[in-house]
Amino acid sequence: MASFLYRIGRSAYLHRWRFIVAWLLIIAGMGTAAATLSQQTTSSFEIPGLESIETQEEIQERFPGSPSQLDAPTGTVVVRAPDGSTLTDPAVAEDVDAFLAEVRELDFLTGTEAIVNPVIAAEGMRQQMTEAKAAQGIPQEKIDADFAALSPLSEDETTGTLQLQFAAETTMNVETEDREAFADLVAEHQDGLTIAYSGNAFQTSEISATGEIIGIAVAAVILTITFGSLIAAGLPLLVGVVGVGIGIAGIFAATSFTDTISNFTPTLASMIGLAVGIDYALFIVSRFRTELVKHIGGNDLEPRELAQQLKTIPFRERAHLAGLAVGKAGSAVVFAGLTVLIALAALSIINIPFLTAMALSAAATVAVAVFVAITLLPAVLGAVGTKVFGARVPVVKAPDPEDEKPTMGLTWVRRVRKHPILHAVVGVVLLGLLAIPAAQLRLAMPSDGTMSPGTPNRTAYDLTAEAFGPGRNAPMIALVDTLEVPAEERPAAWATAVENIQAVDGVGNAQITEPNEAGDAAQVLITPEYGATDEQAATVLDNIRAGIGEFEQQTGGTYSVTGVTPIYEDISERLSEVLLPYIGIVLALAFILLMLVFRSIWVPLIAALGFGLSVAATFGLTVALWQEGWGGIISDPQPIISFLPIILIGIVFGLAMDYQVFLVTRMREGWVHGKTAQNAVANGFKHGARVVTAAALIMTSVFAAFMTIDEQFIKVMGFALAVAVLFDAFVVRMTIIPAVMFLLGENAWKIPRWLDRILPSVDVEGSALEDVGADGSRGAGDRAGEGDDDEVVHADALAVGRHSAETVSDQSPGAGRHELDGDTDGGGGVGTRADG
């Protein structure tokens, strides 16, 4: 792999303008596709095979014309009178009528002739229900209760509701301009009246660039500190933005071919693509700088002198160095990107369409980021030429890891080395304690009740709960199937269903809304006593379903339950069921992939366990703050969005493996080239810590910036990802992993010989590039036809070097401490170079 990527990087540098023009054409093509093919995203989260989904489909079949609970372009408008007055007051009624008159004139709404003042609508409904139900012998007390459950006017007459339907096939087809026009109309009538709206047609998430802008700004600062150069800092930002732009354009273009792309998909892909795109470019640019410094031997040069020395390197030699950077760091980038792709793509096996669309969209954006990093980036490096590390920032020193002076990374790893058990135990205990609240995890799908306070949807939800009771926001529908019941017994069976459901604890009201034309089924509207975001709503649903068997014994019929709340509860349950199996799949993948890369049993094992710890701690802290409201930091605690945990696991797995690969690859590179296990860990950490720290801080800032978006799911996702990166990068990868590696010593790199033979070779360390000349050709040995035997001899020599160094350490305590703790090359051979 390293040789192949070397050729790509060198070629891109040499033929820079060809590559740049090719990418410009791709950008133009994707932009055109997005502009011409883009359709509305969806707010629907249907999952095939769920009882509630199947019930909804059966209702639509047996009750022709019945709308979809999730896709119908309908909405509810809630109107509240000013404080101290009611909707029946003449002045207030006049204001409401003026508002409704303008609503009826909107040409993008259908059935506007049926839109009337809630006071008038309530009077008509009461009269009709009383006449119809009294004729059926229903007691007046039951009629009054049924009317209260459906009335568009609250009992205190301060709040009313009315239903709207857009002239569109589904919510996806509702034009943004139409929503905005309705919102503008509502804003014009807010003087005195309080008007809010909710429902399918209004459950949208507007894409905001605020998160990206803040994330890019913070990343720019971190990159400037890392490189001390404005030009070098700008390169990762450039390729990161290019990758995200192409990925997002592709997502919007794909909306013409599928209706499973949700409102959250572009934001999620943008969040992940931007973070990994900048990080991948950062690793390659950092390695390019290291190769340049190593080439000119400029460790002790001042930054200005170093910049001058770079100008003396011929163009083709710089192309060779760029190829080495892409071949070595690019190998880690490709593998790290592959882990993210696999983790996200694995979500598709769960068979949840909207989740699959989200995962594949994010995975495609990551794939673009990888291709941009290994092709466009070296081309841009070639275009910039010797000015790549120009525009120096005077106050920033930005030392290179090749410098002889101890870096902060080396200082930290020495502390870990002195007390490895202490650091490992403290890290594990810290993450374990933070994980405890995860046991209280409660999942719920995004709804009007989970939106940010102050939004029209949340205001309508809260007004409805206050005026009509929380259950009005969580209606359920029971389809009572009496096809197998004799015709004369069906009305009695329907009445029995209503009676049984009404008797369930937590049900506020149950009533028949309509039988079908065939007379073999009826719909029962169920109004629970709890709101959609209340965990008791799920208990009520379970208890209603638990009575199906008894009802069948009583009447010979059966019933099933659907509605937005049951559908969302079923989705949450399905996601909960697959969470643990998915974690198992991800951990197994982590172990196999890392075993393939590092050819070790212990390294992938501790990496996978560390990933589990960081995820558990992330869940714990997220639940404590965002769900339970600990410390009062979050003013509006809500259940965790159902699909957040499983998406978080997929993303964090990829990011965790990124840091594992980038950090431990440098350790293995030192070990393969003759360092002792202890020295290889310290030296690899020294070389990788600065850039991994910068990458982790960039990812954290990008994710945290998305908390500024006024969308609950995006806020919680941004927080959880930011925290996960901090935990995994600094506690797991930079503390627990090196501590355990020090404890394992040479055992860390052991693998059974039979397993080593069957594993394919993945040259992530770039060993194959050791004898590549500046012209891209192989060294003398390779050109002479010497093959695998020489490689075996070379490996044996390295092993001897390590053995010799270990012998010195064991036989001479003073020499051993110098070898382990020194900063410079002692000049004593391949096994004696210290951790510096």
d(C-alpha 510, C-alpha 527), whole Å:
6
For helices 564-598 and 644-672, give the axis angle rounded to 10 degrees: 10
Kindly indicate the confidence band of residue 775, based on its pLDDT and cuts at 50, 70 and 90.
low
Please compute Rg for the chain using Cα positions. Answer: 32
* 698-740 pLDDT, tens digit each: 888 888 887 887 777 788 888 998 999 899 989 999 999 999 9
Residues 527-556: what's their mean pLDDT?
91
d(C-alpha 231, C-alpha 383), whole Å:
12
pLDDT (0 to 100) of residue 396: 61
pLDDT (0 to 100) of residue 186: 92
d(C-alpha 371, C-alpha 377), whole Å:
9
pLDDT of residue 786 exceeding 50: no
pLDDT of residue 460 exceeding 60: yes
d(C-alpha 645, C-alpha 657), whole Å:
18
pLDDT (0 to 100) of residue 336: 78
Distant-in-sequence, close-in-space partners of 43: CB < 8 Å, separation ≥ 6: 70, 171, 200, 203, 204, 205, 262, 263
Residues 60-70: what's their mean pLDDT?
84
pLDDT of residue 279 exceeding 70: yes
pLDDT (0 to 100) of residue 379: 93
Kindly indicate the confidence band of residue 528, based on its pLDDT and cuts at 50, 70 and 90.
very high
pLDDT (0 to 100) of residue 543: 94
Kindly indicate the confidence band of residue 305, based on its pLDDT and cuts at 50, 70 and 90.
low
Distant-in-sequence, close-in-space partners of 460: CB < 8 Å, separation ≥ 6: 76, 77, 78, 196, 197, 198, 448
Residues 103-112: what's their mean pLDDT?
91
The sign of the CA dihedral 443, 447, 452, 454 is negative
CA nearest neighbour of 322 among 295, 302, 358: 295
**Least confident range of 115-124, 328-337, 384-393, 674-683:** 384-393
* 587-646 pLDDT, tens digit each: 787 788 778 878 888 888 888 888 889 999 999 999 999 999 888 888 888 888 888 888
The tokens describing 319, both together, are: 């192309």
Q: Which residue has the higher pLDDT, 76 or 347?
A: 76
Question: How many C-beta atoms lie closer than 10 Å to residue 26's C-beta?
Answer: 17
Residues 524-536: what's their mean pLDDT?
90
Contact 518, 581 (CB under 8 A): no
pLDDT of residue 467 exceeding 90: yes
Tell me the residue type at 445: M
pLDDT of residue 395 exceeding 80: no
pLDDT (0 to 100) of residue 357: 84
> What domains, with CATH codes, occur in the chain?
1-43+208-398 (1.20.1640.10), 63-202 (no CATH), 406-475+563-760 (1.20.1640.10), 778-836 (no CATH)
pLDDT of residue 410 exceeding 60: yes
CA nearest neighbour of 28 among 207, 245, 238: 245
**Least confident range of 198-207, 253-262, 496-505:** 198-207
Q: Which residue has the higher pLDDT, 701 or 104?
A: 104
Residues 437-455: what's their mean pLDDT?
85
Residues of the chain with pLDDT > 70, as a percent, come to 86
pLDDT of residue 77 exceeding 90: yes
pLDDT (0 to 100) of residue 778: 58
Residues 36-48: what's their mean pLDDT?
70
Q: State CA 156 to chain mean position distance.
A: 45
Question: Rounded to 5 degrees, what are φ and ψ at 484?
Answer: -90, 5
Residues 98-112: what's their mean pLDDT?
92
pLDDT (0 to 100) of residue 810: 36
Kindly indicate the confidence band of residue 830, based on its pLDDT and cuts at 50, 70 and 90.
very low
pLDDT of residue 831 exceeding 60: no
pLDDT (0 to 100) of residue 673: 75
pLDDT (0 to 100) of residue 558: 94
pLDDT of residue 150 exceeding 50: yes
Kindly indicate the confidence band of residue 764, based on its pLDDT and cuts at 50, 70 and 90.
low
Q: pLDDT averaged over the chain?
A: 82
pLDDT (0 to 100) of residue 788: 35
The tokens describing 182, both together, are: 């309705």
Distant-in-sequence, close-in-space partners of 627: CB < 8 Å, separation ≥ 6: 440, 441, 442, 637, 638, 639, 640
Kindly indicate the confidence band of residue 164, based on its pLDDT and cuts at 50, 70 and 90.
very high
217, β-bridge pairs:
none
**Least confident range of 148-157, 361-370, 790-799:** 790-799
pLDDT (0 to 100) of residue 406: 63
Kindly indicate the confidence band of residue 211, based on its pLDDT and cuts at 50, 70 and 90.
low
Question: What are the strands, taking DSSP E only, across 371-487?
Answer: 443-444, 476-481
pLDDT of residue 208 exceeding 70: no
Kindly indicate the confidence band of residue 209, based on its pLDDT and cuts at 50, 70 and 90.
low
pLDDT (0 to 100) of residue 166: 92
Residues 564-570: what's their mean pLDDT?
88
In this prediction the pTM is 0.76
Residues 39-65: what's their mean pLDDT?
80
pLDDT (0 to 100) of residue 271: 78
Contact 198, 460 (CB under 8 A): yes
* Residue 829 Rama label (left phi>0; alpha psi -120 to 50; beta): left
Kindly indicate the confidence band of residue 502, based on its pLDDT and cuts at 50, 70 and 90.
very high
pLDDT of residue 15 exceeding 50: yes
The sign of the CA dihedral 719, 720, 725, 731 is positive
d(C-alpha 519, C-alpha 396), whole Å:
81
Residues 811-832: what's their mean pLDDT?
36
Question: Rounded to 5 degrees, what are φ and ψ at 523?
Answer: -100, 135
d(C-alpha 318, C-alpha 316), whole Å:
5
- The arrangement of strands across the sheet holding 159-165 comes to 159-165, 74-80, 194-198
Q: Which residue has the higher pLDDT, 435 or 266?
A: 435
Residues 410-418: what's their mean pLDDT?
89
CA nearest neighbour of 103 among 69, 68, 76: 76
Burial class (CB in 10 A: 0-12, 13-18, 19+), 830: middle
- 106-110 long-range contacts (CB < 8 A, ≥24 apart) are 106/178, 106/181, 106/182, 106/185, 107/167, 108/166, 108/167, 108/168, 108/175, 108/178, 108/181, 109/164, 109/165, 109/166, 109/167, 110/165, 110/166, 110/167
pLDDT (0 to 100) of residue 821: 38
3-class DSSP state for residue 520? coil
Residues 272-276: what's their mean pLDDT?
81
d(C-alpha 201, C-alpha 804), whole Å:
73
pLDDT (0 to 100) of residue 817: 32
* 732-753 pLDDT, tens digit each: 999 999 999 999 988 888 888 8
pLDDT (0 to 100) of residue 779: 54
pLDDT of residue 811 exceeding 50: no
